[in-house]
Structure formats: structure tokens, C-alpha cells
Amino acid sequence: MGEGICDYTKFSVDLRRHMWMAGVETELRRLIWQIAVTGKYISAKIHESNRKLAGFQNIYGEDQLSLDRSADEILKNQLQFSGFVREYASEEQAQVVKIGTGKEKYFITADPLDGSSLVDSNLSMGTIIGIHHEKVFGEGGKTMVAALYITYGPLITMVYSAGKGAHEFVLNREGEYVLSHENIRLKERGSIYSLGGLRRDWLPEHLRYVEYLEAEGYKLRYSGGFVPDINQVLIKNGGIFMYPALKKEPKGKLRLLFELQPMAFIMEQAGGCASNGVEDILSLKVEDLGQRCPIYIGSRFEVDKAKEYLQGKN
């Protein structure tokens, strides 16, 4: 099948067949498929949203949209009776939830609806999933066996990796996920960058790095949503996303367990890398559910160059 874009109206390899052909273990294959199907239900909930806040805050003190709560419940309920999941850790839950009998094989981490605050402006959102073969408190590089994200945009797409490359599927009109990009590969160096945080709050090393990118002619592409911005780097085959340490937030904004580990897993499978500016994201140990971390993720050239600036080598 090779690299590149496939015309999925003519070449319709669905998700289950692709995973079977790739040799993904049976239980993991069924679990990934079930999560992908759950994305359809979350998408339907987004489309019927009234755009209003639920009037609650999550465990981090952030406003929760009714969509956040609904997406979390949909995902948890679907996984509860899957027969494959022992524990569920969600950005919307205060603690790890035991949803199985204690004998199941996998542990799930989830950001059920990343970018939900963008719903009122009709921008893309997403779901981020990490699949672990042992408890989630540890180094992602040792515990993760698969990761995926679903993008709810003009098209509903899913990118997954079970450790054998990163692959994109599109939800077609018949409700099937069909292959659109197989073995996504990032170029060694890209041409776009996406970054969060206010310029006035950046540390000097990060500012110098951004100025380097500007001088090199990199194009700024930032939506405010982690999933669509990461998806753009992958589908455009290169570039970098970054949310740095800030003067008042030295640990950055994004959460290691729910957001960064799964995306780092996928990005590495596409030939890229992910770092906090010093260490690889998948080598960092998760100590608690809300643990945050700076992130530089994308093509190897841009991430390595960021590390040089952050470590004072430029």
C-alpha cells in the first residue's frame, strides 16, 4: 500500500482489516476498533451540542463544558463492558476508575474531548487515547502499547499506532473507518510551527528559538487545539508543536499522561520525536494524574534545534 494518500472511495481497507494485516494482537485490535466506534458517538454529541457550559469545574479548576462531561461518560461506559480494560484514567476524573473485574489486560488514559472550548467558534476538536499494558504511573516508553487520536473536523479522522507505524483513517459515509494515509512519515525538517503561551510569558531561551524559526521563514499555524495542531504537523509531514515552560507556569500547560504520552508515541512511530526540552517525553515518569510538562514535538530537526536553544547551546 505504501506511503501517501489513498483514494478511500476506490481503495477501501477498513480499520479492522488493516490491524489484522499488520499483525496487531487480537484483544488490542478489538479494543482500538471499539474506541474508534465510540468516536462516532462523541461526534454525534458534538453536533447536537448547545455550546453551553455545564456549570461545573473539573479537578484542575477549569470550566467543564457539557460536552466534556458527555464525552467522558460515553467513553467510560463503552469501555466498561468491553472485557479488555481494567482501569480508566481520564482528564475529567479525579482518580483512576476501576471499570473491569481486575483481570483485564489494558489500562486506558483519555482526554475525552480536547479543545472543547473551541466548540462555539466551530473549530476542530479531538479525543486522545493512550493504551497501557500495566498501570499508568510509569514511563510511557515502557508501559504504552498503543495510542490513537480522533479529530472531529470537516472530516472525522483517526490516527492510530500499535507500535507498527502511524496510520490515518477517515470515517466514510457508510460509517466505516477506511485507510487514507498508511505509514505516515515526517520529513527530517518541516516548514510550519505551532506554539502556545503569551510571548510576554516566554523564557528567554524559548524566545530566541522562536525568533530563529521566524528568521528561517517557518509559517505559524495555531488553532488553540492540541489535536488539530498535532494532526496538521503529521499530515503535512513535518514541523513542530510547542507549549513551553512559562515564567509563571514552569511546567507548562499540557498534561503528561493524558495528552503528551499518547501523542509522543504516535509521533515517534511517524519518525519524529517529542521532548520537554531536555528529556524525551516517553522517558519521563508519571507521578500523578495532573502532572504537566513543557512540550516540543514534531520533526527531529526542529525538536533537536529547540533542545540546543533551551540548553543554551545557541
Tens-digit pLDDT profile for residues 145-196: 999 999 999 999 999 999 999 999 999 999 999 999 999 999 999 999 999 9
CATH number of the domain to which 99 belongs: 3.30.540.10
Give the structural domain span for 164: 15-181
Q: Are 133 and 253 in the same domain? A: no
Q: In a structure prediction context, what are the per-residue pLDDT tens digits for the chain, which is 314 residues long?
A: 444 444 434 446 899 999 999 999 999 999 999 999 999 999 998 887 655 544 455 555 454 467 888 999 999 999 998 899 999 999 999 899 999 898 999 999 999 999 877 777 778 999 999 999 988 888 999 999 999 999 999 999 999 999 999 999 999 999 999 999 999 999 999 999 999 999 999 999 999 999 999 999 999 999 989 999 999 999 999 999 999 999 999 999 999 999 999 999 999 999 999 999 999 999 999 999 999 999 999 999 999 999 999 998 88
What torsion do the CA atoms of 161, 178, 4, 6 make, to the nearest 10 degrees? 170
- Residue 187, in any domain of the structure: no
Q: Are 260 and 160 in the same domain? A: no
CA dist 129 and 149 (Å) reads 6
Q: How many structural domains is the chain composed of?
A: 2
Best CA proximity match to 100, nearest among 79, 124, 130, 127: 79
Q: Are 82 and 164 in the same domain? A: yes
Q: Are 201 and 174 in the same domain? A: no
Q: Are 170 and 207 in the same domain? A: no
Q: Are 246 and 283 in the same domain? A: yes
Q: Are 206 and 174 in the same domain? A: no
pLDDT recorded at residue 248? 93
Residue 161 main-chain phi, psi, to 5 deg: -145, 135
pLDDT recorded at residue 198? 94
In the block, residue with C-alpha cell 479537578: 59
- Residue 215, in any domain of the structure: yes
Burial grade of 195 (CB within 10 A; 0-12, 13-18, 19 or more)? buried
| Number of CB atoms found within 10 A of residue 210's CB | 19
Is residue 94 within 8 A of residue 150, CB to CB? The reply is: no
pLDDT recorded at residue 50? 53
